[in-house]
C-alpha cells in the first residue's frame, strides 16, 4: 500500500546522523513540535540536523491531559502565523502524546502537511510513532478525534531512552508484550527470558525488542491500514485497550500511564479469554508473571468500578452498530476480535478486577 510505505530508522545515535532527517523535509520549512520536558533534551540536536531549513517551534505542556484539541490548535496557529504552506513538515519530537497531537495537526493543516515522527519513549518507538494513527482525547473517551495519517519517516534513536524514567520504560514494555501475545509466541518466550535485561536497558535487548515490535506493527498496518478488516487485522493491536482506554478516560488521564493501563487491560483480556474457555490457566499464569516481572500494575486503581468500565467501554472505536467488540486471546501468540463475547463473563471479569471484589475498598 503506497501510503503505508516509509522508512523506519531504528538505532543508537541517529540524532547525530545528518543523513536521516533533512531529506524528508522536502519544502525546507519545519515546524518542530515537542514538549517542555523533551525539548531541552533533544531539540537542539534535531535543529542541528535541519541545516539550511527555516525552523519554527511549538512546545506543548507535558502530559496525557494535554492531548487535546487546544494543543492541536496551538500547532495549527503556529503554522498559520508563520505562513507555512502545505509543503512544510511537522516534526514530532517526543513520546506518544506529542506524536499523536502533532500528527493530527499535520493531517489537518491545509489538508495535509508533511510529517516526521521522532519518538523518544519506548512506547512511542515500538508503537505510537509507526502506523499513522493520530489524534486527541475527548472528555467522552480516549482518542475520539483523529485521523489516519502516515509520516514520511520515523526516526527512533534508542539513545534517547537513556533519560527516560524507569516507570515510563516499564509502560513501554506493556506494548512490547502485547505483540508477543497477539502474534508471536516465540517473541513472548524471548521476552520472558530477557525481561531483566530490558529493564536494565541492555542495548542489544532493547534493539531486538524495538525492531521486532516495529516489524510486527508494520506488517499489521500494511495489511489493514484503516482497521477495516472485521475479523481482526489492525484491531488486534488493541488487545487490552478497550479496558485500558476506559480506565484512562474514567480517571481523567491522571491515575495511570497509558502503558500501565494497557498492562492491566492485557490481564483483563486474558481473564475474559479464560472465562470464554479459550485460554488455559497456564497461559494466564505466564501473562500474569511477565506483567509482574516488568513491574507493571496488575489491577485497576481503586476508583475504577464496574459501572465506570461499562460507561466508557462502549465508546471504544472498535464498537460497531452500538455493539462492543473485544480483542481476546485464543492462545499466547494468537488473538481474535469478538463481538459475541460472553456478557456474564465480561461482568465477572470486571467484578474480579475492581473494588467490588475487594469489598468496596
Ligand atoms: P508520553 O508521550 O506522555 O511520554 C511519557 C513521558 O516521558 C512524558 O512526560 C514525556 O515528556 C517524557 N519523555 C519523553 N521522552 C523522553 C525522554 N527521552 N527522556 C525523558 N523523558 C521523556 O507517553 P507515551 O507513553 O510515550 O505515549 C502514550 C500516548 O501514546 C497515549 O496518548 C497513547 O494513546 C498514544 N499511543 C498512540 C498510538 C498510535 O498508534 N498512534 C499507539 C500507542 C499509544
Ligand atoms: N496502537 C494501535 C494501533 O496502532 O492500531
pLDDT of 70 reads 98
- Name the active-site residue from 258, 274, 308, 341: 258
More confident residue, 137 or 320: 137
| Homologous superfamily assigned to 166-356 | Dehydroquinate synthase-like - alpha domain (1.20.1090.10)
CB 168 within 8 A of CB 121: yes
> Which residues have C-beta within 8 Å of that of residue 44, sequence separation ≥ 6?
none
Name which of 22, 69, 55, 62 is nearest 40 in CA terms. Answer: 62
The answer for 277, left when phi > 0, alpha when psi is -120 to 50, beta otherwise, is left
Whether 197 sits among the annotated catalytic residues: the reply is no
> What was the pLDDT predicted at 356?
63
For residue 274, CA distances in Å to 8, 47, 154, 247, 302 come to 36, 51, 37, 21, 24
63 Cα: distance to centroid of ligand 1 (angstroms) = 8
Instruction: Give pLDDT, residue 168.
Output: 98
Compute the chain's Rg from CA coordinates: 20
> Which residue is catalytic, options 168, 175, 225, 248?
175
Using 50, 70 and 90 to split pLDDT, how confident is the model at 357? Answer: low
Q: DSSP characters for 72-130? A: HHHHHHHHHHTT--TT-EEEEEESHHHHHHHHHHHHHGGG--EEEEEE-SHHIIIIITS
Fold of 8-163: Rossmann fold (3.40.50)
Give DSSP secondary structure letters for 257-269: -HHHHHHHHHHHH
Residue 318 has pLDDT above 90, yes or no: no
**In which band, very low, low, confident or very high, does the pLDDT at 239 lie, cut at 50, 70 and 90?**
very high
Residues 6+ apart with CB under 8 A from 58: 31, 32, 33, 34, 74, 75, 78
Whether the Cβ atoms of residue 8 and residue 156 lie closer than 8 Å to each other: yes
Q: Residue 3: which pLDDT band, with cuts at 50, 70 and 90? A: low
Residue whose CA lies nearest to ligand 1 atom number 29: 96
CA dihedral of 270, 241, 125, 185, whole degrees rounded to 10: 20
Q: Is 320:339 a contact under the CB 8 Å cutoff?
A: yes
> pLDDT at residue 230 above 80?
no
Q: For position 342, what pLDDT does the model report?
A: 86
Q: Is 238 a catalytic residue?
A: yes
Give residue limits of the domains in the chain.
8-163, 166-356
State the Cα angle at 228 between 222 and 234, rounded to 5°. 50
Please tell me the distance from the alpha carbon of residue 254 to that of residue 235, in angstroms, as a whole number. 26
Grid cell 469489598 is found at 359
Q: Given this model, what pLDDT does residue 361 score?
A: 39
Distance 87 CA to ligand 2 centre (A): 27
pLDDT tens profile 47-87? 999 999 999 999 999 999 999 999 999 999 999 999 999 99
Half-sphere exposure of 228 (CA within 13 A, CB side): 6
State the pTM of this model: 0.96
Task: Tell me, yes or no, if 331 is annotated catalytic.
Answer: no
For ligand 1, the distance from its centroid to the CA atom of residue 348, given in whole angstroms, is: 32
Nearest-atom number in ligand 2 for the CA of 238 is: 2
Q: Residue 1: its pLDDT value, please?
A: 38
Q: How many residues does the chain have?
A: 361
Q: What is the pLDDT of residues 14-53, one digit of tens each?
A: 999 988 999 999 999 999 999 999 999 999 999 999 999 9
Ligand 1, atom 30, lies closest to the CA of: 96
- The mean pLDDT of the chain is 94
Of all protein residues, the one whose alpha carbon is nearest to atom 2 of ligand 2 is 237
Active site residue 56: no
Amino acid at each position: 500500500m503506497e501510503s503505508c510505505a516509509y522508512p523506519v530508522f531504528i538505532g543508537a545515535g541517529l540524532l547525530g546522523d545528518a543523513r536521516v532527517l533533512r531529506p524528508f523535509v522536502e519544502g525546507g520549512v519545519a515546524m518542530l513540535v515537542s514538549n517542555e520536558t523533551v525539548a531541552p533534551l533533544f531539540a537542539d540536536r534535531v535543529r542541528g540536523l535541519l541545516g539550511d531549513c527555516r525552523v519554527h517551534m511549538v512546545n506543548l505542556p507535558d502530559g496525557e491531559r494535554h492531548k487535546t484539541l487546544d494543543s492541536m490548535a496551538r500547532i495549527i496557529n503556529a503554522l498559520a502565523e508563520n505562513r507555512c504552506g502545505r509543503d512544510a513538515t511537522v516534526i514530532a519530537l517526543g513520546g506518544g502524546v506529542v506524536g499523536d497531537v502533532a500528527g493530527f495537526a499535520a493531517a489537518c493543516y491545509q489538508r495535509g502537511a508533511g510529517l516526521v515522527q521522532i519518538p523518544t519513549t519506548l512506547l512511542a518507538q515500538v508503537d505510537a510513532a509507526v502506523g499513522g494513527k493520530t489524534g486527541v482525547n475527548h472528555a467522552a473517551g480516549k482518542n475520539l478525534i483523529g485521523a489516519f495519517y502516515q509520516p514520511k519517516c520515523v526516526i527512533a534513536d534508542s539513545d534517547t531512552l537513556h533519560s527516560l524514567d524507569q516507570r515510563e520504560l516499564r509502560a513501554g514494555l506493556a506494548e512490547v508484550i502485547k505483540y508477543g501475545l497477539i502474534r508471536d509466541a516465540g517473541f513472548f518466550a524471548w521476552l520472558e527470558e530477557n525481561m531483566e535485561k530490558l529493564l536494565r536497558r541492555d542495548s542489544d535487548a532493547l534493539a531486538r525488542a524495538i525492531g521486532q515490535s516495529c516489524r510486527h506493527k508494520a506488517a499489521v498496518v500494511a495489511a489493514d491500514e484503516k482497521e477495516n478488516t472485521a475479523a481482526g487485522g489492525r484491531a488486534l493491536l488493541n488487545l487490552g485497550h478497550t479496558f485500558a482506554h476506559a480506565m484512562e478516560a474514567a480517571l481523567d488521564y491522571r491515575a495511570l500511564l497509558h502503558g500501565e493501563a494497557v498492562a492491566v487491560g492485557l490481564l483483563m483480556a486474558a481473564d475474559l479469554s479464560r472465562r470464554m474457555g479459550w485460554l488455559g490457566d497456564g497461559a494466564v499464569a505466564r501473562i500474569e508473571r511477565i506483567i509482574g516481572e516488568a513491574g507493571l500494575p496488575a489491577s485497576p486503581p481503586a476508583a475504577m468500578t464496574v459501572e465506570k468500565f461499562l460507561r466508557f467501554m462502549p465508546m471504544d472505536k472498535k464498537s460497531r452498530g452500538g455493539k462492543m467488540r473485544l480483542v481476546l486471546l485464543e492462545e499466547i501468540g494468537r488473538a481474535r476480535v469478538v463481538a459475541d463475547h460472553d456478557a456474564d463473563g465480561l461482568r465477572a471479569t470486571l467484578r474480579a478486577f475492581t473494588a467490588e471484589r475487594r469489598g468496596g475498598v
